Amino acid sequence: MSTTIPSSDNKLHKAREVFQGQATRALVAALEVCARCGLCAETCHYHVADPKVEHTPAYRGEVLRRFYRRWHDPLGRLFPKWVGAAALTEADLQKLVHVAFETCSLCRRCALNCPMGIDTAELVRSLRAMLTATGYAPEILEQLADAAIQREESIEFFKESYLEQIGGLEKELQARTGDPQARISVAKDGAEILCVALSGAHTILPAAEIFHEAGANWTLSLYEASNYGVFLSDLARARAIAGRIVNEARRLGVKELVITECGHAYATFRWSVPDWFGPLPFRVRSILEVVADYLKEGRLKVDPRANPEPVTYHDSCNLARNGGVVEEPRFILKRVVQDFREMTPHGYENYCCGGGGGLVANLDAMEVRLKAGWPKAQQIQATGARKVAVACDNCRLQIGDLSEHYGLGVEATGVCDLVCNALVKN
């Protein structure tokens, strides 16, 4: 399903066509109304870490605005220098990779603080779409998106080895719970909950233990929650990757789709998937929302003495600012750890850790990613916490890297891991 890369002559035409396909009224308004007030500069972690004009959200918007004026403003066509318009060139496309894929994590902190309501992340998404369609997107993001689609195309081949892997995890679950009857079913008919995890035991086992203890009727998806089509701003691939899970949930007739600790997967399923596929016949929630309810309902018994060290919480931008999941992780953590400490700022105003938007997967962006994580490293250090609870895998990897890079001496851990530590078994 790789994008067919247009020939050199067609690339500029293709980029313009992609932009026009995305030019909603909101996007055009964002291109028209920037007051150049500069208020957004301090909201962006790239600028806080390394104060350069190129690291301001307004600069990123201006990059796209130059081409927009040339394409759509009569003055921009006749007197481009007067209005800051410029024709897009192939050299521009190459340079834009750094702007769109390496120095913006799509965190939307700037959007929250812009007096004109400009959502720079949407402008950057548009740049990403243009670059992906013309063959300039980071290869690793393309490969990861294509691998997910290929899994669906060859599902019978993958299913066998996946079930074998889950069989191994089931034994671990039985050891963790002390219950030889504990099960991890995959795509089971009759389940009420379809849990969509990430690859590897670290998101599957804690979820399985929690569902087991709560006595939930659940099953595990055959597919992973992550969606690299979203990071590429490639609508066709993003829909294909999400569509596998929507079809699976419909086929099984589940009442609820529960997304593991993954920020972009949650935001994609909450906000984009209903736009792409119409109203869904099941509810979508983050596992944090589900665990908070289990605690409120008394379905999980916990003892915070199992987590005595100071713990802080990093709000994933996609869960908090873009998803509204702010109270639930705090409700959970205050019950499962003894010493919970907030970062400043936190919640909707949290600083991005620098790992979102596909940056963690992109080794070319490593240096700038670690530098952009400096504000988050400072925030973590100021709390004095020894553990950072993180409900997103990309953030978790980034905070682990930040701890090593800045010598923070903290451990990044999942919220569900802390819940499992604190479980008092029935």
Question: Residue 62 corresponds to which tokens in the numbers above?
Answer: 């201006």
Cβ closest to ligand SF4, residue 101 vs residue 266: 101
Q: By CB under 6 A, is residue 23 in contact with ligand SF4?
A: no
C-alpha–C-alpha distance, residues 111 and 121, integer Å: 8
Cβ closest to ligand SF4, residue 127 vs residue 292: 127
Q: By CB under 6 A, is residue 40 in contact with ligand SF4?
A: yes
List the x/- string, 58-97, binding to ligand SF4 by CB under 6 A: x-xx------------------------------------
In total, the chain counts a number of residues equal to 426
The 8-class DSSP code of residue 5 comes to P
Cβ closest to ligand SF4, residue 120 vs residue 350: 120
Closest approach of ligand SF4 to the CB of residue 252, in Å: 36
Closest approach of ligand SF4 to the CB of residue 373, in Å: 12
Q: By CB under 6 A, is residue 260 in contact with ligand SF4?
A: no
C-alpha–C-alpha distance, residues 417 and 329, integer Å: 13
Applying the rule CB under 6 A, the residues between 99 and 128 that interact with ligand SF4 are 104-110, 114, 116, 118, 120-121, 124
Q: Report strand pairing: 256-259 vs 283-286.
A: parallel
Q: By CB under 6 A, is residue 37 in contact with ligand SF4?
A: yes
Q: By CB under 6 A, is residue 352 in contact with ligand SF4?
A: yes
Closest approach of ligand SF4 to the CB of residue 85, in Å: 18
Answer whether 196's CB lies under 8 Å from 221's CB: yes
Give me the long-range contacts of 66-71 (CB less than 8 A, separation at least 24): 67/16, 67/19, 67/92, 68/19, 68/28, 68/31, 71/16, 71/19, 71/20
What phi-psi label fits residue 84: left (phi over 0), alpha (psi between -120 and 50 degrees) or beta? left
**Which distant-in-sequence residues (6+ apart) come within 8 Å of 40 by Cβ?**
56, 57, 58, 110, 113, 114, 118, 120
- The β-bridge partners of 388 are 312, 412
Cβ closest to ligand SF4, residue 127 vs residue 193: 127
C-alpha–C-alpha distance, residues 117 and 60, integer Å: 15
The 8-class DSSP code of residue 297 comes to T
Closest approach of ligand SF4 to the CB of residue 108, in Å: 5
Window of 33-41, 65-73, 77-85, 139-147 that interacts with ligand SF4 by CB under 6 A: 33-41
Q: By CB under 6 A, is residue 27 in contact with ligand SF4?
A: no
Q: By CB under 6 A, is residue 43 in contact with ligand SF4?
A: yes
Q: By CB under 6 A, is residue 35 in contact with ligand SF4?
A: yes
- Specify the DSSP element, H or E, that contains 390: strand 387-390
Q: By CB under 6 A, is residue 355 in contact with ligand SF4?
A: no
Q: How many residues bind ligand SF4 (CB under 6 A)?
A: 28
User: SS3 for 183?
Assistant: coil
Cβ closest to ligand SF4, residue 106 vs residue 337: 106
Start-to-end Cα distance in the chain: 48
Cβ closest to ligand SF4, residue 110 vs residue 127: 110
Closest approach of ligand SF4 to the CB of residue 266, in Å: 17
Chain residues in the site for ligand SF4 (CB under 6 A):
34-40, 43-44, 46, 57-58, 60-61, 104-110, 114, 116, 118, 120-121, 124, 352
